[in-house]
Amino acid sequence: MTHAQPAPAPDTAPTVAAVVVLAAGQGTRMRSSTPKVLHTLGGRSLVGHVLAAAEPLAAGTTVVVVGSGREQVEQHLAEVAPTALPVVQEEQLGSGHAAAVALAAVPDLEGSVLVVNGDSPLLTSRTLAALVTAHDAAGSVFTVLTAEVADPTGLGRIVRDGSGAPRAIVEERDATDEQRAIREVNAGVYVANAGTLRRVLSGLATDNAQGEQYLTDALAPLVAGGAPTAAVRADDPDDVLGCNDRVELAARRRTLNDRVLDGLMRSGVTVVDPLTTWVDATVTVGRDAVLEPGTHLRGGTAVGDGAHVGPDTSLTDTQVGERATVVRTHAVGARIGDDVQVGPFAYLRPGTDLGAGAKVGTFVETKNAQVGEGSKIPHLSYVGDATIGRGTNIGAATVFVNYDGVAKHHTTIGDHARTGADNMFVAPVTVGDGAYTAAGSVITSDVPPGAMAVARAPQRNVAGWVRRRRSGTPAAEAAAAAESRAEAPREDPSGPSRVDHDS
């Protein structure tokens, strides 16, 4: 059986008994101490994207074959796919050998198995579902995903017979001139009956330059034995692109980002400049939100309906409420409530929680700070380890002194308080509801509700200090000139006597 045309997306998601991810390769062309499948793009690792694409297939078992950098890969799997079973391929003896190692780890497995490379970050759930659906509909025991590409150089060609049925996967080095002209290529993704796959893998030869067993060689003996096989072409050839070096990683990152932004714009989000806007696949953005140029949204960031983000803003794992405005801001692990204004040039660190209608303004840094509804921190301030009530205003150039060199301490400012400019709150300290603090104060003791706290030394002017201690400087010269002007006799304010020239 064959599917020469792209298969339509299924109405209901199909399932498989198992997913096998081949992630043992060294990835030497990455030139990196990081295993290839752990390189990241769009908010996930390469293998993370593959696992996410396969997740809707609801496999009872997911096996990830690991080898090079296995400890790092296993640790990553424990974080992103804790139910996946890592299986070690001690020697990297080819894709066929890797698949056999995976199946040996689940000897009682029956049913359909999806086998996929761990470095295909553009694979979509839609494409995998269409592949499995076509496999089931055809009654196939082995189905290969293919793609038609403009330049097939270096890729295995799909050879079909006169009826369109797949006959073999031929690597370029083994292909004839006629076969090299074929533009339909192997995607490295397969669905197979578990029992059939075990049998054919056990018989794969190693008579090649590398002395390895290749999964691509499984198709030909099945065809020769009359087993039903199929080849399904992906709608979008980008879906099957792998990632072998940093150049390809950058290209896959751009393609993935374009897909994410296209999806957002079609769902009602305004992206002013897609070329400079980067949004991870793990981010959600509400309808009528606006993303200005230079906006980067990463990790688990969620932007609410009607919010305005950017320009030049980077948000990681940050929640942005509806109708909030976030301009030229860097935020990590923060929550920004509805109708909040942030920036420009603000830094929201983890634990920042801004209540509805609050404001964090220019050159303000916050950390582990809860700011109540309608409260404002407009200018040039640091707020760390603090709770600020509702409707409170924090004066410019305020510092919450939270660290004593050993431990962090907390400051509490009540509702509707007014703190003066250039204040320092030396934690632990509490300022009560409705209290005021004077400009220039260093607050070291609690301020009762409704009180005015003044904590500054009386001003003392030392006359003539500059003339005596800084003689010869421009400051001393300016002071002397000012003193001379002050000492000069003043003229009669009524001016000189009027002379009447007409008399």
E strand or H helix that includes residue 149: none
Is the Cβ–Cβ distance between 450 and 432 less than 8 Å?
yes
Q: Taking each helix axis from N to C terminus, what angle separates 194-202 and 95-104, rounded to the nearest 10 degrees?
A: 130
Q: DSSP string covering 25-54, please? A: ---GGG-SSS-GGG-EETTEEHHHHHHHHH
Q: Which residues contact 363 (CB under 8 A, 6 or more apart)?
A: 345, 346, 379, 380, 381
Rounded to 5°, the CA angle 122-272-262 comes to 25
E strand or H helix that includes residue 131: helix 125-138
Look up residue 138 and give its DSSP letter. H
What is the rounded CA–CA span in Å between residue 164 and residue 2? 6
What is the rounded CA–CA span in Å between residue 279 and residue 261? 7
Annotated catalytic residue, options 379, 409, 410, 416: 379
Give residue 491's identity as a one-letter amino acid code: E
Q: Which two tokens stand for residue 484?
A: 């001379």
What is the rounded CA–CA span in Å between residue 462 and residue 219? 95
What is the rounded CA–CA span in Å between residue 45 and residue 468? 68
Tell me if residue 412 falls in helix, strand or coil: strand
Tell me if residue 338 falls in helix, strand or coil: coil
* Four-CA torsion 320, 323, 326, 332, nearest 10 degrees: 0
Own/partner pairs, 440-444, CB within 8 angstroms, 24+ separation: none
Strands (E) across 323-482 are located at 325-326, 329-332, 335-336, 341-342, 346-348, 353-354, 359-371, 376-388, 393-394, 399-401, 411-413, 418-419, 424-426, 429-431, 436-437, 442-443, 452-453
- Any catalytic annotation for residue 379? yes
E strand or H helix that includes residue 116: strand 112-117
Four-residue CA torsion sign, 217, 218, 224, 228:
negative
Look up residue 415 and give its DSSP letter. T
Q: Which residues contact 54 (CB under 8 A, 6 or more apart)?
A: 19, 21, 62, 114, 116, 123, 125, 128
Task: Write out the catalytic residue numbers.
Answer: 379
